[in-house]
Amino acid sequence: MFRKLQQAARFLSQSGRSMVGMPDYDNYVAQMAIKQPGEPVMSYEAFFRERQEARFGRGKCNTRCC
């Protein structure tokens, strides 16, 4: 029972962070270890910058307002 509550809390916090645009670096590191074990992992700063650029554009105005 307690384990299910922990999993639900983890899922809700991950979903909340995703909704406000805060990337989940720990999840990224875990997925890299599973799917691409030999590849280098980005630093937190590089990961955060890459996620922000992916979300808001790379310095050019697409469909969102500048």
What value does the mean pLDDT take over residues 6-28?
Answer: 79
In this prediction, residue 22 has a pLDDT band, given cuts at 50, 70 and 90, of low
pTM exceeds cut of 0.75? no
Classify residue 24 by burial, with Cβ atoms within 10 Å: 0-12, 13-18, 19+. Answer: middle
Report CA-CA distances (Å) from 46 to 7, 10, 41, 51: 28, 24, 10, 9
Q: How far apart are the C-alpha atoms of 19 and 22, rounded to whole Å?
A: 8
Which range, of 8-12, 38-42, 55-59, averages the lowest pLDDT? 55-59
Q: What is the mean pLDDT of the chain?
A: 81
Classify residue 25 by burial, with Cβ atoms within 10 Å: 0-12, 13-18, 19+. Answer: middle
**In this predicted structure, what is the pLDDT of residue 65?**
58
What value does the mean pLDDT take over residues 23-44?
Answer: 90
